[in-house]
Amino acid sequence: MGGPGGLRQARRLCHWGPLVALAVVAVCSATAMADAALWYWPLDTAGGSVNFIMLLNWTVMILYNYFSAMFVGPGYVPLGWTPEKSQDCIYLQYCKVCQSYKAPRSHHCRKCNRCVMKMDHHCPWINNCCGYQNHASFTLFLLLAPLGCIHASFIFVMTMYTQLYNRISFGWSSVKIDMSAAKRDPRPIIPFGLSAFAASLFALGLALGTTIAVGMLFIIQMKVILTNKTSIESWIEEKAKDRIQYYRTGETFIFPYDMGSKWKNFKQVFTWSGIPEGDGLDWPVRDGCHQYSLTIEQLKQKADKRVRSVRYRAVEDYSGVCCPVTKGVQTFFTTPCTEEPRIALSKGDLILATRGLNHWMYGEKILNSAVDGGIRERGWFPKKCVEECQYDSEMDQPVDGEKKNR
């Protein structure tokens, strides 16, 4: 792993997400191996050997798929990419950062600073995007991690039970636990004292929490895979229904990449070779759908977003910090739980807000006088720092019924 590319990949580990994820794997695996030696010594019986080998196998497979998802990456749209037919450019969005058109199913990631093929989401736990090339590895990691944690949890429970059972003495009026040594068995190779009990209990809580959290993420991923969608595309489909209902156009949006069979959709991601089908740029579509049905819908939603956005003017300065102390208690404690950026504001700045929460809004700051085509900076900002602009002239006012007739 040499050169600038290798150094850039190595830097992916220097992030809170991979550090926390690998720490959880290390704590659960190391504690489970130590407890397995106490509970079911692998050299004495075939069952103990199988138990220990399975535990090692979980760890190896979890780390293999984790690092595959991280270092193989999602695959990026080539810089300067254009469709083979120049007339197809009208169906696609253009990325100014990558200086290329966005291929079908691709999206620009602000974290990776590239257009990602079949982007599902940017995952902080692998410090990389989940997309075309690593979707299978990422999903397998989400499956194997809970399975390995379930096995480790069983080992923790059995170890604590057997060790405490050998240390409990029952009196007439009380139950005493002696953590210094076993009462019935000879002294174990690995001593099980109070610190070992606390470590096992902590690892058990960590493993159970990981099983629940990561297991839910696996279920979410499988739902979108079996419909041959990504998380972003599921959101686009929901917005398409909202747009059609809002404008009452009478049209019907059909998601073009659903092959009509869960097995066929499954094979789009998981293959025996480990290499996903296709090249990440061209995708098979179901009968009756256009190759650019999804991108055309995205263009409609982008135009709709401009219509529905509301112009605000900053009335207070905001530094762009995640949890501002000076903007009120509610603003401080309700900061959006997302890695999306915040934008600094100065009095008089114009912002086009597109969505919001009770005390926060998300929008694009206009850095020059041009509303359309101007350079914008996107991010969250406190709602109390802005006020809605009043239209200065009739030219700025929306025509009655414009939205309904769009």
Annotated catalytic sites, by residue? 123
Instruction: Give the number of other CB atoms < 10 A from CB of residue 299.
Output: 14
**Total residues belonging to the chain:** 406
Please name the amino acid found at residue 46: A
Report which of 128, 81, 119, 130 is spatially closest to residue 102, judged by C-alpha positions. 81
Q: Check: CB of residue 354 under 8 Å from CB of residue 365.
A: no
Secondary structure of the chain in the HEC alphabet?
CCHHHHHHHHHCCCCHHHHHHHHHHHHHHHHHHHHHHHHCCCCCCHHHHHHHHHHHHHHHHHHHHHHHHHHHCCCECCCCCCCCCHHHHHHCCEECCCCEECCCCCEEECCCCEEECCCCEEECCCCEEECCCCHHHHHHHHHHHHHHHHHHHHHHHHHHHHHHHCCEEECCCCEEECCCCCCCCCCCCCCCCHHHHHHHHHHHHHHHHHHHHHHHHHHHHHHHHCCCCCHHHHHHHHHHHHHHHHHCCCCCCCCCCCCCCHHHHHHCCCCCCCCCCCCCCCCCCCCCCCCCHHHHHHHHHHHHHHHHCEEEEECCCECCCCCCCCCCHHHHHCCCCCCCCECCECCCCEEEEEEECCCEEEEEEECCCCCCCCCEEEEEEEHHHEEECCCCCHHHCCCCCHHHHC
| Rounded Cα gap, residues 374 and 366, in angstroms | 7
Q: Which residues sit opposite 246 in a β-bridge? A: none
Q: Are strands 350-356 and 114-116 parallel, antiparallel or unpaired?
A: unpaired
Q: Which residues sit opposite 314 in a β-bridge? A: 386
| Rounded Cα gap, residues 354 and 343, in angstroms | 14
